[in-house]
Amino acid sequence: MNFVFVSLQRINTDRESTATSLARELARQNHNVLYINSPVNRKDYFFPPGDAFVGAHVAAIKAGQEPLQQLAPHLWVLHPPSLIDSFNWVPYTPLFSLLLRLNNARLAKDIKPALQKLGFDEFVLINDKDIFRSFYLQEYLRPSQTVYLDRDYTVGQPYWRRHGQTLEPVLMRKSGAVFCNSLDFTERARRYNPNSFYIGNGFDAAQFSAEPAHALPPDLAAIPGPRIGYVGALITMRLDLPLLEELARQRPKWSFVLVGWQDEAFERSALHSLPNVYFLGRKHTHDVPAYLQHFDVCINPQAINEITLGNFPLKILEYLAMGKPVVATVTNTMTEVFSEHSYLATGTAQYLEQIEKALAEDSPRKAQERIAFVEKFSWKNIAAHCLSLCQQVAGASAVRPGKSRTM
């Protein structure tokens, strides 16, 4: 099969996402995949931002480089040469959606030559949360199938809220199917499209493995145990900062190790004045398993709000894949998917109790049980499930009276 991915996430960065991981796995399974990197905004073309990957895209456009490149067998990336404009300042959604056609038409014009060059006469278009820039690509590109990938509650964020809360449901309705990585998102998507399916989330099973053993990172070696660790962005939109502060205060003999970049609230927080809290900064994805392996307990002190409530926390898979005991905030996903292999808590008292329990109960047998549990979340299995759903939806559409196969 042929697949075309459009996404908010570029594929040539130092971090992976659901879309990039799924695209790579489909290519490994000998499906042809064209991944469309985000087009460059006109403002960023003339005033390049600090993002090195956007800067490289701008430089390639100015140098007139070939926009279509092969990354691996069966996997190509397109760096769209056309510039797009920002219309999010427009206050009225009907006018905004009309203006979006300009950006969508430019992007489609860049994609069509690549489709022709690769021989993609028929293909599945997978839209990973690109609500605005790809809203009309289904109409412009005429794919054989369209799938909307719902893996984050982006419309809860200020940039997306004004127009996204109206346009995302429309995009879901007109897509052939919606694939969701959390149970909450699946329930929401079914309000707009009956072909909405839960696919779960995946992780890099080869990378997040406890075998062979990882060497103790030098900046972790001097930190005494027990080490209570978190890896990920330290941002108050997603993490319960007051909870972390209270945990560290009440257990001064535990070392709280935080790996990731900080927002301003974390940088100004009281955590920096506590002697048992250690900020180790952002680490490359390939270095993360070494830190996880030498934590005694991994935590996910998630803030509960409209943005985080329905998320499927990928880091839980990575924690468990390393065999680590996990203590996390109670959500529907944590309760329904992970409750048998993690410790769930709400509030300081429960967190302290569950961390103590995790420390006391940990054993090699429990570690192996956790590792075995997450094997089903490999990208190989997620990709196979997505392929099966594509075939299921296409078959149902083909036999339904009066329905076109184009979704």
What pTM, to 2 d.p., does this model score?
Answer: 0.85
**What is the structure's pLDDT at 285?**
84
Beta bridge pairs of residue 198? 180
Amino acid at 196: S
Q: What's the farthest any 2 CA atoms get from each other in the chain?
A: 69
Q: Per mean pLDDT, which range of 112-126, 127-141, 333-347, 393-407 is the poorest?
A: 393-407
Count, residues in the chain: 407
pLDDT at 407 over 50: no
Fold adopted by 2-202+380-399: Rossmann fold (3.40.50)
* Contact predicate 217/257, CB 8 Å: no
Q: What are the tens digits of pLDDT across the range 32-85?
A: 999 999 999 999 999 888 888 999 999 999 999 999 999 999 999 999 999 999
- Helix (H), strand (E) at residue 54: helix 52-63
Q: In angstroms, what is the C-alpha Rg of the chain? A: 22
3-state secondary structure of 236: coil
Q: Taking the domains of the chain in order of start, what are their residue ranges?
A: 2-202+380-399, 218-376
Query: Which two structure tokens, joined as six digits, stand for 285?
Result: 């994805």
Residues 60 and 136: their CA atoms lie apart, in Å, by: 26
pLDDT tens for each residue of 237-246: 999 999 999 9
Position 12 scores a pLDDT of 84
The identity of residue 67, as a single letter, is P
Is the pLDDT score of 362 beyond 60? yes
pLDDT at res. 402? 44
Would you tell me how many other CB atoms lie within 10 Å of the CB of residue 82? Answer: 16
Is residue 142 within 8 A of residue 112, CB to CB? The reply is: no
Which among 182, 1, 163 has a CA at the least distance from the CA of 86? 163
128/7 Cα distance (integer angstroms): 5
Residue 405 — very low, low, confident or very high, per pLDDT cuts 50/70/90?
A: very low
Fill in the DSSP letter of residue 180: E
> What confidence tens digit (pLDDT) does each residue in 383-392 have?
999 999 999 9
3-state SS class at 259:
strand
Q: CA 256 → CA 101, 208, 252, 281, 362, distances in Å?
A: 49, 21, 9, 13, 18
* CA nearest to 312, candidates 150, 171, 161, 127: 150
Q: Tell me: pLDDT of 401 over 80.
A: no
Token pair 């956790």 is found at 370
Rounded Cα distance, 363 and 2, in Å: 45
Whether 2-202+380-399 and 218-376 share one fold: the answer is yes
pLDDT per residue as tens digits for the range 182-199: 899 999 999 999 999 999
Pick the CATH number of 218-376 from 3.40.630.10, 3.30.365.10, 3.40.50.2000, 3.30.1370.100: 3.40.50.2000
- The runs of H, that is alpha helices, within 69-193 are 93-118, 137-141, 158-174, 183-189
Q: Return d(Cα 154, Cα 104) in angstroms, integer.
A: 20
- Measure the CA–CA gap between 127 and 104, rounded to whole angstroms: 13
Collect all residues with Cβ–Cβ distance below 8 Å to 89 and sequence separation of at least 6: none
Q: Where are the beta strands (DSSP E) in 202-293?
A: 227-231, 255-259, 277-281
State the pLDDT at residue 245: 97
3-state secondary structure of 266: helix
Residues 6+ apart with CB under 8 A from 396: 195
